[in-house]
Structure formats: structure tokens, C-alpha cells
């Protein structure tokens, strides 16, 4: 079987080139008779295997790069997958919408979407539904009002990740009169930013931890954004009376660490730091004592995603959400775990 895995191209270049990529088969029947699009799945693969269209967020972090590599490698190794049409949307929702419409035109068997933000998907996912092409969400979610427009979401429980960070904060600062917190949020409107925020502060409120959110701004999940926002935090508030930085991903946390050091402070001591992801670079910073707690968000679920794509194409009934396995790590774990990181 000839297998083509398209990768490494920007959204515009790939969308122009995809018109020349032939596909066999296509989606099966669409709606479920009740306005939904989730009960029947696709029409199954042709003898040559499934054609899967994947609209990825971008390459904004080591986590995202590892996630893309995992999906591409799994598709290449899986005899059930004839072709992966891969689009790097460069963190732009309009690029993902354009990609999905191209996938619909190509009549791929399954569409996989890692949505940049939670809102704004109704029209394009309805088009996929009307074309009889089932949609899987990978990693991130979309607003509840559109849940009938996708079959299942495979990824992390972002609320639980926030709750894990909150539980550590409650334990660590239980004896303080007032814990002063800075927050580096992810992309505005994205599911991980929204959920990691709500999970974290829900726990602090439930446990009645006295705290003050001194400032919260988006670093857009990038190291550059994290560094820039942290520089603003330092110039506006200083760090002498700040207890904790909660960064929604490794990249922003690592950028913030650089800004903290450049300002003459000692990260991990003068200010305690939580990051979410668990990249090797994050663990290396932990080994160096520059941060205090890591909440894992596992990007390496390509093989699991291929299994789900086949199940969806064959019309199997799946839970609305399937979580990947994840853990948490403190200073006693950093050195032992750093060499196990896959991204």
C-alpha cells in the first residue's frame, strides 16, 4: 500500500497542494436523525485504508511539536491509515476552518481537529456533518453547544490539571496569611487556558486558601510571550511580595524564568513556580531548582488517536471524552524523570 503522510507545511501551502491528493472512500452517513452528528460515525475505510485530515493548532511549543510528531509517526506506521493530510494552522482559527473545508471537499474519511479556541466552530463542523464526515477533537475542546457536531475528544482533562496545581498550592501555602499569585494564561479563549484557570482557582476557593490574584495575562503558550508578560509583571508589581507564578505551560514558564533571572531574582526560591506540560526542558529547569512543581500534560497519544479514528470510521459508539494518562512531579522526582521525557 502506498502511504502518503503530508507534514511540515504551513496551512496555506498545504491547502493549495491538497487539491492534487486523491482520496478513496469518504465519510459515511451524517446525522443521527435528531440534529446531531455523532451516533453513526463514518462509512469505514476502503481496502486501501482510511484517509484522515488533521487540522493542528500550530508549532507554538515543544509540546505541540511532540504531539504532531506522535500523530504523524503513528499514522505512518499504521496499516489501517492510507493517508494523513496534516495542516499546521499556525495558531489561526481561520486556517483551521479553511483546512476543514478542504478536507470536506476532499471527502476524507475522518477529520481530526485540535481547536485553537473553543468558540466559532458551528458552521464549519455542520458542513462536515452534512457531508457525512465524522469529527474527532484532539487535545482541546469546544463549547458545549457544539458537542453534537463531534464524536469524541481524546486528550487531557485540563480542569483536572488545574485542580492538581491548585491542590499543591493549597498544601504548600496552607500556613500563609495571604498567598499572592501571578498567572500566565494560555491563548485567550482556548480550552486549556479556560480550564486550567477554573480548575486551579476552584480548588483554592473550595479549600478556603487566603490568596490574592495580583495579575493574570496571556502569554499565548509561547516562551517569548511568557518572558514578555513576566517582564511586565516585574516592572508593574515587583517580585518581593509575590509568592507564586502559575504558568499554563512549560514554554511560558521557561520564558518567565529567564525574565526573573534577568531582573536579579532567583526563580524557585524568591518566587515559587508551577508549570503545566512536562517537557524535558521543564524538568531540566526543575533539576536546576528553578521551578517547584510540574503538572504533566501528555502529548504522545498518536497511536491512541489512530485507534479512535478507526473506531469512529467504523461507527463504534465511544464516550464523549477519553483521557490520556498523566501525573504530577515535585523536586524529589525531577532528576529521576528528566531522561524519560519524550519531548
Report, as an integer, the average pLDDT of 150-174.
97
* β-bridge partners, 273: 245
> Would you tell me the crossing angle of helices 158-172 and 191-206 to the nearest 10 degrees?
40
Which residue ranges form the domains of the chain, and what is each CATH number?
4-155+300-324 (3.40.50.2300), 158-297 (3.40.50.2300)
45-92: pLDDT as tens digits? 456 899 999 999 999 888 999 999 999 999 999 999 999 999 999 999
> What is the reported pLDDT for 47?
66
> What is the reported pLDDT for 147?
95
> What is the reported pLDDT for 38?
52
For the chain, give percent helix, strand, coil, nearest 5: 40, 20, 40
> What is the reported pLDDT for 44?
46
Q: Tell me the C-alpha distance between 142 and 117, whole Å.
A: 7
Report, as an integer, the average pLDDT of 211-215.
98
Mean pLDDT over each residue of the chain, to the nearest integer: 89
Backbone angles phi, psi at 188, to 5 degrees: -60, 130
Is 266's pLDDT higher than 80?
yes
Global pTM value: 0.78
Three cell numbers written together for 161: 490539571
> What is the reported pLDDT for 327?
95
Q: Do residues 302 and 77 lie in contact, with contact meaning Cβ atoms separated by under 8 Å?
A: no
* Closest C-alpha among 295, 239, 289 to residue 268: 289
Is 11's pLDDT higher than 70?
no
Is 40's pLDDT higher than 50?
no
Report, as an integer, the average pLDDT of 249-270.
98
3-state DSSP of 230-259: HHHHHHHHCCCCCCEEEECCHHHHHHHHHH
> What is the reported pLDDT for 320?
95
Amino acid at each position: 500500500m502506498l502511504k502518503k503522510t503530508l507534514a511540515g507545511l504551513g496551512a496555506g501551502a498545504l491547502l493549495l497542494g491538497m487539491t492534487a491528493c486523491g482520496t478513496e472512500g469518504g465519510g459515511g452517513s451524517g446525522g443521527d436523525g435528531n440534529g446531531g452528528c455523532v451516533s453513526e460515525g463514518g462509512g469505514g475505510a476502503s481496502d486501501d485504508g482510511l484517509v484522515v485530515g488533521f487540522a493542528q493548532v500550530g508549532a507554538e511549543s515543544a509540546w505541540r511539536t511532540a504531539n504532531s510528531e506522535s500523530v504523524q509517526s503513528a499514522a505512518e506506521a499504521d496499516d489501517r491509515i492510507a493517508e494523513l493530510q496534516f495542516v499546521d494552522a499556525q495558531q489561526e482559527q481561520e486556517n483551521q476552518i479553511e483546512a476543514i473545508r478542504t478536507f470536506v471537499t476532499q471527502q476524507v474519511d475522518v477529520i481530526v481537529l485540535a481547536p485553537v479556541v473553543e468558540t466559532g466552530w458551528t458552521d464549519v463542523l455542520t458542513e462536515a456533518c452534512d457531508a457525512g464526515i465524522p469529527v474527532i477533537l484532539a487535545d482541546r475542546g469546544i463549547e458545549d453547544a457544539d458537542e453534537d457536531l463531534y464524536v469524541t475528544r481524546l486528550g487531557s482533562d485540563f480542569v483536572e490539571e488545574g485542580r492538581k496545581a491548585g491542590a499543591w498550592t493549597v498544601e504548600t501555602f496552607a500556613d500563609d496569611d495571604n498567598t499572592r499569585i501571578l498567572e500566565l494564561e494560555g491563548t485567550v479563549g482556548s480550552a486549556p487556558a479556560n480550564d486550567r484557570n477554573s480548575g486551579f482557582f476552584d480548588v483554592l476557593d473550595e479549600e478556603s486558601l487566603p490568596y490574592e490574584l495580583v495579575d493574570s495575562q496571556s502569554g499565548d503558550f509561547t516562551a517569548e510571550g511568557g518572558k514578555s508578560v513576566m517582564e511586565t509583571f516585574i516592572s508593574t508589581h515587583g517580585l518581593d511580595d509575590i509568592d507564586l507564578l502559575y504558568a499554563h505551560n512549560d514554554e511560558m514558564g521557561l520564558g518567565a524564568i529567564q525574565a526573573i533571572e534577568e531582573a536579579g531574582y532567583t526563580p524557585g526560591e524568591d518566587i515559587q513556580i508551577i508549570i503545566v506540560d512536562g517537557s524535558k526542558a521543564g524538568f531540566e529547569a526543575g533539576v536546576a531548582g528553578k521551578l517547584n512543581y510540574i503538572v504533566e500534560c501528555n502529548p504522545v497519544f498518536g497511536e491512541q488517536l489512530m485507534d479512535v479514528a478507526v473506531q469512529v470510521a467504523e461507527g463504534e459508539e465511544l464516550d464523549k471524552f477519553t483521557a490520556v494518562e498523566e501525573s504530577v512531579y515535585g523536586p524529589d522526582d525531577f532528576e529521576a524523570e528528566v531522561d524519560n521525557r519524550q519531548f
